């Protein structure tokens, strides 16, 4: 039997909220998608005014990060280096537009986050990173509650 | 020129909170979709243990309600069953006749769609109605 770690709805909401908090009010409206390790949506939200393209691409970025297991900007570098194109994957949902980050815990992919809407893919990526950092912090906090408090030599 | 009205994040979050509040221990994990007047998602929410297909199904329900301006159960009874039409007649793969999608109206105009999956279709619809009521719109 195998066990997969998967991001849950509670963590997904915290991750999305971290992005919205970082975005603030004085920017273009954004869309934020958090998906599980298979690329299926767990939580999606958008600010008023986010366009239809923003909605679709936020989901595609998150999907790519989780399904491929690479942050979307890193993946672009990788397939460009390998001389491949996105079309090689025969999957309309994958994209190399920056702004998708893979979420991991215990070295496993547990999901992905995608952000679109700032009008610039690198700004999207920086905002999505805030969500990925929040997810990492949740992971660290959880580890702290479970770790053996004794010094290593005393275990 | 004309203006179209649509629900925004504020209404969607009110509905989300009211529905989560109304859930009981006997309810299954839910998937919730709140869509704008074009059927595009404003808020998607899938609880731990709810399969991804539930959210896909709920997205289709909310899309149908918002685009056709009907509750999906009425669409099924008055169009599909009564007139012997098929879903293919609409030429849109997102159109569904599954019960549980409710059109969101404000002063008579369709401003969005809301749909749930996870429980019985009757319970799904009842929970969606709780969310709709919490938006505080004028029917």
User: Domains in chain A, ordered, with CATH?
Assistant: 9-140 (3.30.450.150)
CB contact (8 A) between residue A43 and residue B52: no
CB contact (8 A) between residue A9 and residue B48: yes
A55 vs B8, B41, B47: nearest CB: B41
The strand ranges marked E within B1-139 are: 31-35, 41-46, 101-106, 109-117
CB contact (8 A) between residue A45 and residue B55: no
Q: Searching chain B, which residue's CA lies closest to the CA of residue A37?
A: B52
B106 or A154: which leads in pLDDT: B106
Q: In whole angstroms, what is the distance from residue B92 CA to residue A25 CA?
A: 36
Q: CA of B41: how far to CAs of A132, B44, B115, in Å? A: 22, 7, 11
Q: Which of B5, B46, B54 to mutate to probe the A interface, most A CBs <10 Å?
A: B46
Q: Searching chain A, which residue's CA lies closest to the CA of residue B52?
A: A40
Q: Which among B12, B51, B63 has a CA at the least distance from the CA of A46?
A: B12
Tens digits of per-residue pLDDT, A13-66? 999 999 999 998 768 999 999 999 999 999 999 999 999 999 999 999 999 999
pLDDT band, residue B51 (cuts 50/70/90):
very high
Q: Searching chain A, which residue's CA lies closest to the CA of residue B31?
A: A42
pLDDT band, residue B105 (cuts 50/70/90):
very high
Domain B9-134 is of which CATH architecture? 2-Layer Sandwich (3.30)
Is residue A138 within 8 Å of residue A146, measured between CB atoms? no
Within 8 A of A9 by CB-CB distance, chain B residues are 45-48
What's the mean pLDDT in A95-99?
96
Enumerate the domain spans of chain B.
9-134
In total, chain A counts a number of residues equal to 155
Within 8 A of A62 by CB-CB distance, chain B residues are none
Distance of CA B64 to the CA centre of its chain: 8
Residue with tokens 């999906």, as numbered in its chain: B72
Helix (H, G, I), strand (E, B) or coil at A42: strand
**Rounded to the nearest 10 degrees, how much is the dihedral formed by the CA atoms of B24, B46, A54, A98?**
140
Q: A47 touching B, CB under 8 A?
A: yes
ipTM: 0.84
Give the pLDDT confidence score for residue A148 in this predicted structure.
85
């Amino acid at each position: 039997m195998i066990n997969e770690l998967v991001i849950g709805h509670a963590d997904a909401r915290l991750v999305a909220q971290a992005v919205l908090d970082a975005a603030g009010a004085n920017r273009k409206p954004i869309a934020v998608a958090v998906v599980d390790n298979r690329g299926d949506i767990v939580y999606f939200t958008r600010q008023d005014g986010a366009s239809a393209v923003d909605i679709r691409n936020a989901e595609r970025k998150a999907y790519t990060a989780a399904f491929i297991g690479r942050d979307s900007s890193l993946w672009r570098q990788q397939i460009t280096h390998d001389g491949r194109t996105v079309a090689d994957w025969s999957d309309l949902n994958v994209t190399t537009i920056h702004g998708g980050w893979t979420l991991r815990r215990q070295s496993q992919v547990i999901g992905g986050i995608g952000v679109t809407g700032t009008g610039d893919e690198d700004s999207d990526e920086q905002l999505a990173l805030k969500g990925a950092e929040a997810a990492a912090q949740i992971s660290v906090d959880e580890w702290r509650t479970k770790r053996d408090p004794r010094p290593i030599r005393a275990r | 020129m004309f203006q179209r009205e649509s629900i925004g994040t504020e209404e969607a979050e009110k509905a989300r909170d009211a529905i989560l509040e109304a859930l009981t221990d006997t309810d299954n994990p839910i998937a919730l979709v709140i869509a704008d007047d074009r059927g595009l998602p404003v808020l998607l929410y899938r609880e731990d243990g709810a399969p991804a297909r539930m959210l896909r199904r709920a997205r289709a329900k909310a899309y149908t309600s918002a685009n056709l301006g009907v509750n999906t159960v009425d669409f099924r009874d008055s169009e599909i069953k009564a007139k012997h039409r098929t879903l293919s007649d609409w030429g849109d793969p997102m159109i569904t006749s599954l019960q549980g999608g409710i059109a969101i109206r404000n002063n008579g105009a369709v401003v969005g769609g809301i749909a749930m999956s996870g429980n019985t279709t009757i319970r799904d619809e009842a929970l969606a109605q709780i969310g709709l009521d919490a938006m505080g719109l004028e029917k």
